[in-house]
Amino acid sequence: MNRSAEWPIAIRSVDIAQPPQALTGLGRYSRVRVFVSRGHDLIGAVDIWNRGAEALSAMRVHDAIADHLALELIKAELRNQLLDRSSARELPVAIVSVIVPTCGRPGDLHRCLASLTKQRTRHTIEVVVVDNRPSSGTSVAVIRDFPSVRLIEEHRPGLSYARNTGITRATGSIIVATDDDVVASDDWIEKLIAPFVRPEVVAVTGHVLPLELETEAQCRFEAYGGLGKGFTPFEFDASWFGGRRDAVPTWRIGATANAAFRASIFRDPRIGLLDEALGAGMPTGCSEDTYLFYRILNSGGTIVYEPSAYVWHRHRAAMAGLRAQIRAYSTGHVAYHLTTLTRDGDRRALVRLLYSLPRTYVERAWQRLRGHNDYPLSLILLEIVGNLAAPLALWRARRRVRRLGRSERPARERNDAVPLEGQAT
């Protein structure tokens, strides 16, 4: 198959609890990626090659799902039966603060806020938009269409600064983090915060699906790994954290494009706010969320990954944006390990930096040369360049934070928030 057939990829959703229907509007696509759910439970995905056909029949879609996702369907049914038989408690009604940092992307922001206003939930939702480029004036125009949304300005550049400002100004007992280029499913909040009924759970992450795969860059990013972490629920706790000889792979947990936290953790001196030397807008580029997950687990907390709490993310459309993103991810990845090494004294980071990470690149390059994948060698080299730039980037970022100042942790409980069971009051 020639490379031109690899993209674009159509995105469709199929609920197998509904009568089967044909998929249409596929004439300019060689294949369609079908995300499969049963009701509101996300089960998996399957790629179906249509090779330019305008439509796929309901029967063909049904057969492809049965052929590729049979085991996943059985597992989902067993999970549902176990849940039906259990005496699961219901999460008390709470104030949920959704923090949406934005930086000059009015179209994305409008789409995101529209999805947040359509949430079906028992809980009270407070949406806080933090404008990290207020001089543009674009956010003010968008917010006019959403009168219930609060708009806060943060002039210090950096995603972590913006998130921290939102966290410190929010009133909820649960803080939800997302991005302005995300569209939420209508029951997202309800599913994302449900695991907080267990007092040991202090954070929950959800799946991140591609909103579109129209360009080479978007398809390459999804092949690179995207932002999603799979369709299987998982838990990360102190035993998972402490039982590893290699560095703790908190990047497998999720991302703050789709995550929720007990507000109390940001007042805990063992955890605190996001590290403002890490993240987009800083020389380090990313990994503020993976380091936050690290501190949560290091303090004994439990994090739940719940894939049915999913959102749709619009990946960067241009290759220049993809290259910048991949380099930033690579720099931030090493900066994260250097932070756990220098700040937390975790020498497992050395195993990752000196052994497993170089071996990963050698294996990927060898697979590419043998034709086992089509991930470009140029992007592998870009990742290595990003890794090597990390020590200087982290030093520069920490200097910048010293100059701009750190955000202070919330000093007290939010009196207007409904506390959750197990949360300190």
The answer to whether 302 and 347 are in contact (CB under 8 A) is no
**Predicted pLDDT of residue 274:** 98
The answer to whether 193 and 259 are in contact (CB under 8 A) is no
**Predicted pLDDT of residue 132:** 96
pLDDT tens sequence for the chain (425 residues) = 334 457 899 999 999 999 989 999 999 999 999 999 988 889 999 999 998 899 999 999 999 999 999 888 888 777 766 665 444 577 889 999 999 999 989 999 999 999 999 999 999 999 999 999 998 889 999 999 999 999 999 999 999 999 999 999 999 999 999 999 999 999 999 999 999 999 999 999 999 999 999 999 999 999 888 899 999 999 999 999 999 888 999 999 999 999 999 999 999 999 999 999 999 999 999 999 999 999 999 999 999 999 999 999 999 999 999 999 999 999 999 999 999 999 999 999 999 999 999 999 999 888 888 887 778 889 999 999 999 999 999 999 999 999 999 998 886 555 434 444 334 33
In 400-413, which positions are buried (b, 16+ CB within 10 angstroms) versus exposed (e)?
A: bbeeeeebebbeee
* CA-angle at 155, arms to 151 and 156, nearest 5°: 130
**Predicted pLDDT of residue 2:** 38
Domains of the chain: 3-85 (no CATH), 92-425 (3.90.550.10)
Tokens of 334: 């090493």
Angstrom CA distances, 191 to 43, 87, 268, 306, 363, stand at: 14, 17, 25, 8, 38
Nearest to 276 by CA among 129, 394, 158, 180: 158
Number of H helices, E strands in the chain: 12, 12
**Predicted pLDDT of residue 224:** 85
The answer to whether 139 and 250 are in contact (CB under 8 A) is no
**Predicted pLDDT of residue 157:** 95
Q: Cis ω on the peptide bond leading into residue 8 (within 30° of 0)?
A: yes
110: number of CA atoms within 13 Å, CB side?
9
DSSP 181-241: TEEE-TTHHHHHHGGGGSTTEEEEEEEEEES-B-SHHHHHHHHHT-S---SS-EEE-HHHH
Hunting for tokens 């596929």 — which residue is that?
Answer: 26
Spatial separation of the C-alpha atoms in residues 13 and 20, rounded to whole Å: 12
Tokens of 190: 């309800």
Within its chain, how far is the Cα of 48 from the centroid? 26
Nearest to 323 by CA among 217, 182, 222: 217
Question: Which element (helix H / strand E) includes 305?
Answer: strand 302-313
Hunting for tokens 């409980």 — which residue is that?
Answer: 413
Interacting residues of 306 by C-beta distance below 8 A, sequence separation 6+: 191, 192, 194, 195, 204, 205, 206, 233
**DSSP classification of residue 354:** I
Angstrom CA distances, 190 to 212, 310, 400, 408, stand at: 25, 11, 38, 30
**Predicted pLDDT of residue 370:** 83
Counting every residue, how long is the chain?
425
Phi, psi of 366 (to 5 degrees): -65, -40
Spatial separation of the C-alpha atoms in residues 120 and 145, rounded to whole Å: 20
Spatial separation of the C-alpha atoms in residues 253 and 299, rounded to whole Å: 16
Spatial separation of the C-alpha atoms in residues 227 and 177, rounded to whole Å: 14
